[in-house]
Structure 1
């Protein structure tokens, strides 16, 4: 089975973290989300991936290469300009001559594929859209379906009394290669606003099925943090690297703790981390590989990417530090996003 991973967006709502990083490469529990997704799909029989990339595509290519390290084959369809969801699919047409999967790679969801694939084969239409149920559908495009699962229409951001359901597009599609005939080439095309409505209008057969399990769009700082807290609370049971050194505290290899360090669970610590004397870590702290935490640092409700440094006496709360960020001694960081020593943005 082949899968197209849509990873070309700018991730503007996560800036400055995504200035030089594709959003799907943002780490979740100290590992790029895209790596979690590929590993999960490989375990379900997907062995050939195509990356639809544009923004900082070299970051993805350097990390994954040809996929051999993960036991899969990876090829690349780099967009010459922003092409939209359907435009990026059309740009990858040369790679697909049979039924294929498409993932919005910045959606945090690890779906079970077999039920979706069986449903797709049974209905015989051109497209299956994985759906998820939300408590408040008023911020999304909501689907209306008949009893067979056929999608009749999309209602964009309806008022509560106008919503035909609470089911929304989960960002996973199963498509037949005939879909390429419905997508114009060499321009930006939205699959939600153009392609799916056209397929519905022409009765090509667009169906939807609920995809169970954890689902979240990680596209804002608050949602990105919440994914991590859900991992730590095991509401999202993503594999955790390392071992539990005390209940609710996971630590990787070659970690050094100073005297009097206090951990307030839940906490996740990567490999080769050094934490100074009398530091207080947690609750809800994720510290990446090769980080250095000084003495008397307080770090709670915060995420530090690999190789970050926090000097003595600093306090972090509800903040995110990008790769190799250095925090000076004695500073207070609250509701901040920092991607280099000179850039601070309020979350």
Structure 2
């Protein structure tokens, strides 16, 4: 059994957080997205992995994959004629884009085999969504029809996207659509060719990290135990996870749930609530960080107020700045003293002197 991760698809609205690096390096609860996805795949016995990523990604992602024993992997660039050709018969799990899920993949694979399916779509519940198609199935789960849009009305419906189980001989047939992220074309093409396609309904946690709001949401869900993701660090007290070498000055207030990465330093009077702070982050006297996600090596000066924001790696925020909900700061951003920023996920990189 093998797996194919196509990192090229999806997550465009979060590209500023990874800049020119792979989206698979995006940290979620202080672990990379790739670590979470590989944990899902290896948990059901997958030991051979293909990764489609930009040229040079192997240098960034290879060391992460090397931490898994008995896992072999190969990298391919996102070119339609460059996907792996699986010569021997195999079942292939295909994972597209920045997906976080608690899916019981072993059950889905058993369903695929029991039905004798050539392709199984993992069907998750959605409300009306402009890019989602409604997938209809019969009593055994065989897909009978695909409607182009989930109908309006607010009721939940089943749609496919993000994860597929395919027999390997279908891969050349679907290569162009997979690489281009044209998921809406996959099922109609298979049905038109008379290929048996089944849908496996999933009720476990499922979230595509397609925009900043979803990125904040997955952290809130992880902090509150609504996913099975494991926060980085040791749970020192209920809802407080700390990495190695964390330094807490007197008067620091940690209001759970909170995740502090390795080497985080919080000075006197700092308040942190329902937030994730990446490794090496420094927070100066009297600053408040509420409902936010800070990536590695951020610096917040004295008296900063940060609420409901996303802060990229290496960001510097000078003292007295007020950062209101809906801000995404790109990595290496510099925000000047006493700045006032806010909005519906406005993107900033530099403000002030």
TM band (smaller chain): 0.7 to 0.9
Give the aligned partner of residue 239 of structure 1.
Answer: 230
Q: Aligned-pair distance for 1:345? A: 8.4
**Could you tell me how far apart the structure 2 residues matched to 1:162 and 1:219 are?**
21
* Structure 1 residue aligned with 2:117: 125
- Give the CA deviation at 1:188: 6.4
Deviation at 1:246, TM superposition (A): 3.2
* 2:74 aligned residue: 75
Q: Which residue of 1 aligns with 2:279?
A: 289
Q: Post-superposition shift, 1:239?
A: 1.2
User: Does 1:260 pair with 2:251?
Assistant: yes
The yes-or-no answer on 1:115 pairing with 2:130 is: no
Identify the range of structure 1 (117-126 vs 65-74) with the bigger mean alpha-carbon deviation.
65-74
Match of 2:3 in 1: 3
Looking at structure 2, the residues matched to 79 and 345 of structure 1 have their Cα atoms a distance apart, in angstroms, of: 36
CA distance in 2, matches of 1:267, 1:190: 35
Query: Which one of the candidate residues 327, 341, 351 is aligned to 1:336?
Result: 327
1:84: which partner in 2?
none
Identify the range of structure 1 (295-304 vs 209-218) with the bigger mean alpha-carbon deviation: 209-218
Give the Cα separation in 2 of the matches to 1:306 and 1:100: 34
User: How far apart, in 2, do the equivalents of 1:237 and 1:185 lie?
Assistant: 33
- Aligned twin of 1:314: 304
Counterpart contact for 1:262–1:278, Cα < 8 Å: yes
Structure 1 Cα separation of the partners of residues 265 and 178 of structure 2: 50
Q: 2:76, 2:84 within 8 Å by CA — same for their partners in 1? A: no
* Deviation (angstroms), 1:14: 1.8
Most deviating of 224-233 and 18-27: 18-27
- Look up the match of 2:56: 58
For residues 319 and 144 of structure 1, what CA distance do their matches in structure 2 show? 39
Task: Tell whether the 8 Å contact from 1:182 to 1:195 is kept in structure 2 after alignment.
Answer: no
- What is the deviation of 1:342? 4.2
Q: Deviations over 1:14-33 (max 9, x none)?
A: 24213223333211100111
Length, aligned pairs only = 335
- State whether residues 182 and 199 of structure 1, in contact with CA within 8 Å, keep that contact through their aligned partners in structure 2: no
Report which stretch shifted further, 120-129 or 191-200: 191-200
> Which residue number corresponds to residue 295 of structure 2?
305
1:38 is matched with 38
The ranges of structure 1 where at least 4 consecutive aligned residues each deviate by more than 3 angstroms after the TM superposition are: 57-61, 135-139, 183-191, 342-346
Q: What is the rounded CA distance, in whole Å, between the counterparts of 2:315 and 2:276 in structure 1?
A: 15
Cα offsets for 1:104-156 (capped at 9, x unmatched)? 24111132222211211122232011111234466521101112211122222
Contact 1:127 1:176 survives alignment (8 Å): yes
Contact in 1 for aligned 2:323/2:342 (Cα 8 Å): no
Deviation (angstroms), 1:212: 3.5
How high is the TM-score relative to the length of structure 1?
Answer: 0.88
Distance 1:189 1:153, change over 3 A: farther
Instruction: Note the aligned Cα RMSD (angstroms).
Output: 2.6
